Amino acid sequence: MSNTFETIQSDIATDESEPSVKHEPKGPKTKLKAPYLQKLTAEQQTRQFAFRDYRVTHSALRRVITDLMPLLMTASETNVICVTGATGVGKSTLTKVMLSKLVENFDPMMEADASAIPLVYVEARRDGNARNGFGRLYRKLIAQLWEPGMSKKVPFTIQGGKVVMNSRAQTTVDDLRELLEDCLEQRKTRVVVIDEAAQLARFGKPEDVMDTIKSLANTTNTKWLLVGSFDLYDILATNGQTMRRMALLNMERYRAENRDKLDDDKDDPKSFEKVVKLLQAAWPCAEKPNFAAVSDELMAMSLGCVGLLKTFMLDAANLQMRKPGEKWSYEFMKMAQKSIGLRSKIEEEILRGEKRVQDAVYGNSLWDAKKFDQIIRLMDAKKVAEANEI
Amino acid sequence: MKSERSLFFPQELQGAGTADVESLRSYVERLSLKHRLNPTTLVGLLVERMPLDSVSCPQNAYRLTQHWSLHGASGVGQRLAERLSAATTVDLSSSTLARFGSLFSPVGLAATRGVTHYCPACVQQVGDDGLPYGRLLWLVGGIRACPHHRVRLRDSTGCGAPLSARLELRCRPSLEGVCGQCGSIGFQCLKDQEIEHATDIEVWEAEQVSRLLSLSASSAAELSSDGIRRGLREVLDTRFDGKAVNASLEAGLARSVVWTWVEGKFRPTLRGLLKFCARARCDMVEMIGGSYVPSREVRSSESPAQPRGYRRKVLADDEIRERMREAAAMEPPMSGIQLAHSLQIDRKLLRTRFPAEHEALMEAGRRHSADANQARYLDVERRMTTAVETLRLKGKPVNRKSIRVEAGISTFSATGNARKALEVVMQRLDSHAEIL
């Protein structure tokens, strides 16, 4: 049975993993083919996969994790935490890094108790079936909780002081929910992570979806982390009751205007340049193009999203690998980047999404800088007065 | 491997470390319910993952859960408890009597293949899940009372709900403390039935076994056969002037039984030891530990231990004939075995020496059985006829299944009363006879 921990371990270990090789490279007599028909050798494929799986823990990612971990690891009433961000901003990388950190945190608990499954991770993928979304999500979660005999379940009801087994009845969504609640409680689950959580919007009315998630989090005393695109915000902002127990974190992209700050970590162009340099250092070909020299241009091209930059570099590297002698050509940069039409569509979507979530993001306070200074002064003055009285 | 998790999520063993410790059967049943599995399926999944390695252990989970003969000193129960402990991370060693297996004879140690018992007061106490649980004490051979409520245990086959309220077979739960026929928690279906008070000796026996069950794992591990023999000698010397035969006879045991225990020829049966201790007015747990400590007084008038008689019964033939005629005229007539037992004579003697009277007695028995069977058939037929009328009044379809469901009758056998009655009712329906 595959579970969250195995998935995480396999992801972390992918740097050393050998890709499957179906065709052996042919000898020197082989006629050269066009680049798109050129097959990669096993060694090239290994380098390619290694570059694909190479992950950079950049400052934007660290900032979100710094905010996120205390929310997940403490006993607070905020039990639904949502992480949104632009497409390609690095949400998937964030999820994987965060999961490995959580696994590290829960290690002692898992060592001490072989029945405990403190962390559960599923993807709410769209699979073409619009019906019974929650049923399928519950099944995925229950499978991650190592529940045996899923095909042999016998639902039961207790009502009017009687226990009645429903041996021939089909397992309903309610039955699955009750089983999931029991599993989460008995397996001592602390955090449930749902990736691609924007797909939850297709499970029903937004308020119903969030009510379900919220009640599950409350009854099982678990923290639910929903990671998804800006569409996720539509199902979050349904009613005040839901928002009360919720925190929203936005994974910011790098912006050219955030320049010349005193703190290097908050200087976006510098941070982006570091990312470019790191990716350049891990370049899978011997001839490494100097991307760092044009990091500002790359930031503009990738809209400040590390994921889009990575896609661009991966495509460029693929083209270089297929070239005889893996010779670099600047033409690859033009071929690998998104077309203007696609880029503007993505940009439009990102700007629209950012506008939607900007006021709801975690840390965005009601008080402006002036009001906040005033509050601090008042509190300090009160403290001094009390100290003097004593 | 760190990521390897237990097969089942854990469920706390109720009453662990106390006299009210939960039985393995009850644990399996509650765990199955929590996992929404049939107990047989759950045991099957367990055995599939962790096979029971002995030849004598049936791999077939159905056989394990058919009679639940797991609570005595048998290796099957012990191994199942071990594997379930590994699969749930819960220590289940105290859920069977296996930890006392080296002390007592396995004969009659725990109830096997029989009906289970429950205390009508204890099953009213429910846990966080809203359900009661079954105590190991109720499964100990010979225990007939609850030491807390001083009431007799009931067997779990009875159901007080009307037939129409009983569940279909597939809907019936398998849970200790829950009626298996109507599903009522704590046998509420029998709440109007009078609770029988237990006798002093029954309560004393239950108290002694309770104390034994409440021993911690370390204390139980310290008990040994040598300790029992030491304790027996001390009790014999103190209470019976060292005479084992006297002790046996007074306890209602065969004359050499206590001697065989003292000499280590056989391990004592728990029931035998209870009888012995009751007669000797000694604390059984202390005696097993190797010392004599007087127990509270048990009212001797209620003591079931009758000294075993070894004298030959002298009865005149005429007297036996007369008793046989009386037995045949009784309603219901006494069986040959019952009569022989009451006269304390060999049952074969009745057939060989008094063939005519014996035949008359047998004939009376056969006639009674036939009459009773006919009465049962008529009752079933009446209920089915009523069911047909009810179905018609409700405007529901009348067929074999609906009649059976409405009447609350299951037809297991092709030759049973229910099947015969159903055929008759269906024939009447087909020919539009007087049923309307």
Chain B partners within 8 Å of A161 (Cβ): 184-186, 188
Q: Which residues, numbered 124 to 183 in chain B, qualify as contacts with chain A under a Cβ-Cβ cut-off of 8 Å?
A: 130-131, 167, 170-173, 175, 178, 182-183
For B115, the token pair is: 């009906």
CA distance B210 to chain A (A): 29
Q: Is A155's CB within 8 Å of B36's CB? A: yes
Where residue A7 falls among pLDDT bands split at 50, 70, 90? very low
Q: Is B152 helix (H, G, I), strand (E, B) or coil?
A: strand
Q: What is the pLDDT of residues B277-314, one digit of tens each?
A: 988 889 999 999 998 998 877 765 444 555 555 555 67
For residue A225, with 0-12 CB atoms within 10 Å meaning exposed, 13-18 middle and 19 or more buried, which class applies? buried
pTM: 0.76
Q: How far is B240 from chain A (nearest CA, A)?
A: 54
Q: Which residues of A touch B (CB under 8 A)?
A: 3, 5-6, 9, 107, 110-111, 113-117, 145-149, 152-156, 158, 161-168, 171, 175, 179, 182-183, 186-187
- For residue A311 the two structure tokens come to 């896609």
Residue of B nearest to A9 (CA): B3
Q: What is the mean pLDDT of residues A382-386?
A: 76
Contact yes or no for A183 and B184 at CB 8 A = no
Is the omega angle on the peptide bond into residue B332 within 30 degrees of 0, that is, cis?
yes
Q: What are the chain A neighbours of B7 within 8 Å (beta carbons)?
A: 146, 148
Q: What is the nearest CA distance from B412 to chain A, expressed in angstroms?
A: 19
In tens, the pLDDT along B148-192 reads 999 999 988 889 888 788 888 888 999 999 999 999 999 999 999
Q: Which candidate in B13, B30, B36, B156 is best for mutational testing of the A interface (most A CBs within 10 A)?
A: B36
**C-beta atoms surrounding B425 within 10 Å:** 23
User: Does B9 sit within 8 Å of A114, measured CB to CB?
Assistant: no
Whether A3 and B5 lie within 8 Å, measured CB to CB? yes
Structure tokens at A184: 């989460």
Would you state the pLDDT for residue B55? Answer: 44
CB-based contact B5 A163, cutoff 8 Å: no
The pLDDT, as a whole number, for residue A10 is 40
Q: Is B106 within 8 Å of chain A by CB? A: no
d(CA B423, CA B421): 5
Tokens of A374: 């005033």
What's the token pair of residue B397? 């379809």
Average pLDDT, chain A: 81
Residue of chain B with shortest Cα separation from A112: B2
Q: Are the beta carbons of B10 and A5 separated by less than 8 Å?
A: no
Confidence of residue A23 (pLDDT cuts 50, 70, 90): very low
Q: Which of chain B's residues have a Cβ under 8 Å away from the Cβ of A114? A: 4-6, 89
Nearest C-alpha of chain A: how many angstroms from B293?
A: 43
Q: Is B309 on the interface with A (CB under 8 A)?
A: no
Least confident of A285-294, B2-11, B374-383: B2-11
- Contact between A145 and B37 using a beta-carbon 8 Å cutoff: no
- Angstrom CA distances, A382 to A44, A151, A370, A372, A389, stand at 68, 65, 19, 16, 11
Longest CA pairwise span in chain A (Å): 94
Minimal Cα–Cα distance from B39 to chain A, Å?
A: 10
Cβ B185–A158 below 8 Å, yes or no?
yes
Q: Which residues in chain B are contacts of A156 at CB distance < 8 A?
A: 33, 36, 173
- Give dist(CA B106, CA B73) in Å, integer: 6
If you search the block for the tokens 């629209």, which residue do you land on?
A352
Query: Would you call B173 and A156 a contact, using CB atoms and an 8 Å cutoff?
Result: yes
Contacts of B23 (CB under 8 A, 6+ apart): B71, B95, B96, B134, B135, B136, B138, B139, B176
Q: Which of A111, A153, A155 sits opposite B2 (nearest CB)?
A: A111
Rg, chain A, Cα only: 25
Using CA atoms, how far residue A57 sits from A51, A230, B338, in Å, is 14, 22, 88
Judge whether B276 and B182 are in contact, CB under 8 Å: no
A235 residue type, one letter: I
* pLDDT score of A88: 83
Among residues A87, A92, A93, A81, which one has the least CA distance to residue A351? Answer: A87
Pairing relation of β-strands B151-152 and B154-155? unpaired
pLDDT above 50: residue A87: yes
3-state helix, strand, coil in chain B (%, to 5): 50, 5, 45
Tell me the pLDDT tens digit for each residue of A297-330.
999 898 889 888 999 999 999 889 888 888 888 8
Flag if A145 and B167 touch (Cβ within 8 Å): no
Rounded Cα distance, A295 and A302, in Å: 10
pLDDT at residue B122 is higher than 90? yes
Query: Does the pLDDT at position A44 exceed 70?
Result: yes
| Residue B7 pLDDT level (bands cut at 50, 70, 90) | very high
The answer for residues whose C-beta is within 8 angstroms of residue B90's C-beta and 6 or more apart is B10, B11, B12, B13, B84
Enumerate the residues of chain B whose CB falls inside 8 A of the CB of residue A148: 7-8, 35, 37, 45
